Amino acid sequence: MQTKRTTFSNRWLPYALLAPQVIVTLVFFIWPASQALIQSVYRQGDAFGVRPPTFVGWRNFETLLAEPQYLGSLKATFIFALGTTILSMGVALLFAVMVNRMIRSRDAYTTFMVWPYAVAPAIAGVLWWFIFNPNIGILPYVLEGIGYDWNHRASSTDAMLLIIIAAAWKQISYNFLFFLAGLQSIPHSLIEAAAIDGAGRMKRFWTIVFPLLSPVTFFLMVVNIVYAMFDTFGVIHATTEGGPSQATNILVYKVFRDGFVNLNTGSSAAQSVILMAIVIVLTVIQFRYIERRVNY
* Stretch 226-245 residues interacting with another protein (CB under 8 A): 230-231, 233-234, 237-239, 241
The answer to whether 260 contacts another protein (rule: CB under 8 A) is yes
Q: How far apart, in Å, are the Cα atoms of 127 and each of 10, 82, 138, 250, 265?
A: 54, 22, 12, 20, 33
In the shown chain, the binding pattern of residues 188 to 207 toward another protein, with x for contact by CB under 8 A and - for none, equals ---xx--x-----x------
Least CB distance to another protein at residue 213 (A):
15
The answer to whether 181 contacts another protein (rule: CB under 8 A) is yes
The answer to whether 296 contacts another protein (rule: CB under 8 A) is no
Is the CB of residue 71 less than 8 Å from the CB of residue 158? no
Is the CB of residue 235 less than 8 Å from the CB of residue 166? yes
Query: Which region among 56-64, 69-77, 155-163, 175-183 touches another protein (by CB under 8 A)?
Result: 175-183
Least CB distance to another protein at residue 157 (A):
21
Q: How far apart, in Å, are the Cα atoms of 224 and each of 32, 90, 98, 158, 296?
A: 26, 12, 22, 22, 24
The answer to whether 290 contacts another protein (rule: CB under 8 A) is yes
The answer to whether 2 contacts another protein (rule: CB under 8 A) is yes
CA dihedral 189, 191, 197, 202 (to 10 degrees): 180
The answer to whether 174 contacts another protein (rule: CB under 8 A) is yes
If the CB atoms of residues 18 and 154 are measured against another protein, the closer one turns out to be: 18
Query: Which region among 49-57, 69-77, 79-87, 249-257 touches another protein (by CB under 8 A)?
Result: 249-257
Segment 12 to 41, residues that bind another protein, using CB under 8 A = 13-15, 17-18, 20-22, 24-33, 35-36, 39
Q: Distance between CA atoms of 296 and 292, rounded to whole angstroms? A: 7
Least CB distance to another protein at residue 242 (A):
12
Coil, helix or strand for 169?
Answer: helix
Least CB distance to another protein at residue 105 (A):
8
Least CB distance to another protein at residue 68 (A):
22
Beta bridge partners of 55: 42
Beta bridge partners of 42: 55
Query: Which region among 58-66, 153-161, 173-181, 206-214 touches another protein (by CB under 8 A)?
Result: 173-181
Enumerate long-range contacts of 190-197, CB under 8 Å, 24 or more apart. none
The answer to whether 252 contacts another protein (rule: CB under 8 A) is yes
User: Residue 237, exposed/middle/buried by CB under 10 A (0-12, 13-18, 19+)?
Assistant: middle
The answer to whether 280 contacts another protein (rule: CB under 8 A) is yes
Coil, helix or strand for 259?
Answer: helix
SS3 readout for 18-32: HHHHHHHHHHHHHHH
The answer to whether 70 contacts another protein (rule: CB under 8 A) is no
Segment 87 to 146, residues that bind another protein, using CB under 8 A = 91, 94-95, 98-99, 101-102, 105, 109-124, 126-131, 133, 135-138, 141
Query: Which region among 3-11, 45-53, 65-73, 156-164 touches another protein (by CB under 8 A)?
Result: 3-11
Beta bridge partners of 54: 43
